[in-house]
Amino acid sequence: MSCRLVAAAALAALAVAALAAAAPLWVYATTLALFGLPHVLVELRYVDERFSGRLPRGTLRWLMGGLGAVALLRVLAFAGVGGPLVRAELALGVGLVSIATPLVLARASGAGAAAALAVGGGLLVGVVYAPLETLVSMALLHNLTPVGFLAERLRGPARRQALVAAAAAFLLVPAVILCAPIAPPVTGGPAGAGELSQHLAAFVPSPWLGTAVGERLFAAAAYLQVLHYVVVLGVLPRLGGGALAARAVAPWPRRRRFAGGVLLLGALAAASFAGDFFGARAGYAIFAAVHAWLEVPILVVALALGPAPTAAPSPA
């Protein structure tokens, strides 16, 4: 990677961070409306092409069943059925089963299984003691999953360079947003998106709601959301699924046709957000939950089962 490209990327990241710190709701709402659904579709394709060919069919069935349960919970939430606490407990329980059962079926062992046990233990503690706070924390940490995909996909110098850049962009810059002496953010947002206080709960645990720390945490999350979209939409498709991409479960269309479909659906989603932001976000939450709850189990299971064959990036 050339020095000019690195400098341009660093300046762009700093500009996004400054915007997120100054007007977090503008950054969050605008990027969610424009890139939320497209990034879900692109990420689902990447995960399918990269991981499904190396997972046992029994594991895939368990994961698909878990995703179906997560989608059902989101539909119930959309319809106003059940309380938030019960839905949070069920969602965390589904995530725990989605991680534990495939590993038991595959008889995973070693460092990967230990990492899976740690993640599963964290979910179990969350279910028992603080389900709502755990679910919100996972929504915040979900923005870091592209780092895991890059670490899993790349090898050698490219992997080291990517992880160094990720450490600066995904950890150092958010830390500056949280700790630097900056002015209070603008609390308004795009037309129809309401006020910042109406969105804090998406990323901020309840003890920090209504505090300056909560506003800064939301600003850091808005910045990380942009980085998440950039990696998923701009980097992962270039890397492709590798040697096992041909064994994907879904019959994905050719990449150009797929890109056209993503653009069309993204435009329809953006129009929906423009017409009714909160209604569109509630509907989008169903798709977002499916892809978010797929990422954690798939990364943990892939780590436990070992590396996959690599190949040159798939052609666009």
What's residue 109's pLDDT?
Answer: 58
User: Which two tokens mark 56?
Assistant: 């046992």
Question: By percentage, how much of the chain surpasses pLDDT 70?
Answer: 87
Give pLDDT < 50 ranges for the chain: 311-316
What's residue 316's pLDDT?
Answer: 42
Q: How far apart are alpha carbons 282 and 278 in whole angstroms?
A: 6
**Residue 138 half-sphere exposure toward CB, CA atoms < 13 A:** 26
What's residue 306's pLDDT?
Answer: 60
What's residue 246's pLDDT?
Answer: 63
What's residue 23's pLDDT?
Answer: 94
- The per-residue pLDDT for range 260-285, each reduced to its tens digit, is 999 999 999 999 999 999 999 988 98
Q: How far apart are alpha carbons 193 and 107 in whole angstroms?
A: 48
What's residue 251's pLDDT?
Answer: 84
What's residue 315's pLDDT?
Answer: 43
**Could you tell me the pTM of the whole model?**
0.88
What's residue 76's pLDDT?
Answer: 79
- Residue 93 Cα distances to 23, 141, 206, 225, 289, angstroms: 35, 18, 21, 25, 14
What's residue 110's pLDDT?
Answer: 62
- Residue 194 Cα distances to 80, 121, 259, angstroms: 21, 37, 32
Q: Are 304 and 152 in contact (CB under 8 A)?
A: no
